[in-house]
Amino acid sequence: MKRQATISRKTKETEIQATIDLDGTGVFEIKTGIGFLDHMLEQLSRHALIDIRLVAKGDLHVDYHHTTEDSGIVLGQAVAMALGDKAGITRYADVHLPMDETLTRVAVDVSGRPYLIWNVKFSRDKLGEMDTELFREWFQAFAQNAGITLHVQNLYGENNHHIVETCFKGLARALRLAMTPDPRQAGRVPSTKGTLSV
């Protein structure tokens, strides 16, 4: 069964289409109009080995909030759709992701129960033209719509670019592990309830 999905979302604020393949090789084509967000989503694709094609047109003349949040919504919905009933997946994963002086811990449960713990602080208000407060908005939107429990904690670091990049790369690596089929599950849903529903 192919674990692929295409999601379209159109509002008065944004118009976004995304296609993903969970069993890809990390090929990406991402155009949000926000350079730094593109860079982070490219990291997500490459390190999770998820093929992502995402094109967004948003009200960037207002600010970057709607485009950032809505891209998280659309990618989260695509992941949930591609996972289907989650039969056979590993489900849980965690990773410590280093980048120079920075270390971030990310843990995920592909549970169908969305929840975000975000323990990340920045010393600058912006990276490039992007408000650093928007990164939490993206992770919240993604976790809520993917139906995952997601804990992100920056343990230490000084460079704000490194801090946020370890968050995205950590998510990528944890997702890659959690969504990988476990041959010992033999196609079962990894829950004693018999279901992992959003």
Number of domains in the chain: 1
- Residue 144, domain member (yes or no): yes
pLDDT in tens, 134-193: 999 999 999 999 999 999 999 999 999 999 999 999 999 999 999 998 887 777 666 656
**Helix (H) or strand (E) run with residue 168 in it:** helix 160-179
Find the length of the chain: 198
pTM over 0.85? The answer is yes
- Residue 33, domain member (yes or no): yes
- Residue 193, domain member (yes or no): no
Structure tokens of 43? Answer: 């990291």
Q: What is the mean pLDDT of residues 62-83?
A: 97
Supply the pLDDT for residue 131. 96
Supply the pLDDT for residue 97. 98
Supply the pLDDT for residue 194. 63
- Residue 192, domain member (yes or no): no
d(CA 103, CA 4): 32
Supply the pLDDT for residue 183. 83
Half-sphere exposure of 105 (CA within 13 A, CB side): 8
For residue 85, the domain's CATH number is: 3.30.230.40
d(CA 177, CA 89): 9
pLDDT in tens, 88-139: 899 999 999 999 999 999 999 999 999 999 999 999 999 988 999 999 999 9
- Residue 91, domain member (yes or no): yes
- Residue 81, domain member (yes or no): yes
* pLDDT tier, 29 (very low <50, low <70, confident <90, very high otherwise): very high
**Closest Cα partner for 32 from 60, 66, 55?**
55
Per the structure, the complete domain to which residue 66 belongs is given by 4-185
Q: Is the pLDDT of residue 52 over 80?
A: yes
Supply the pLDDT for residue 196. 60
**Closest Cα partner for 151 from 113, 94, 80, 89?**
94
- Residue 197, domain member (yes or no): no
Residue with structure tokens 């946020």?
A: 164
* pLDDT tier, 195 (very low <50, low <70, confident <90, very high otherwise): low
- Residue 58, domain member (yes or no): yes
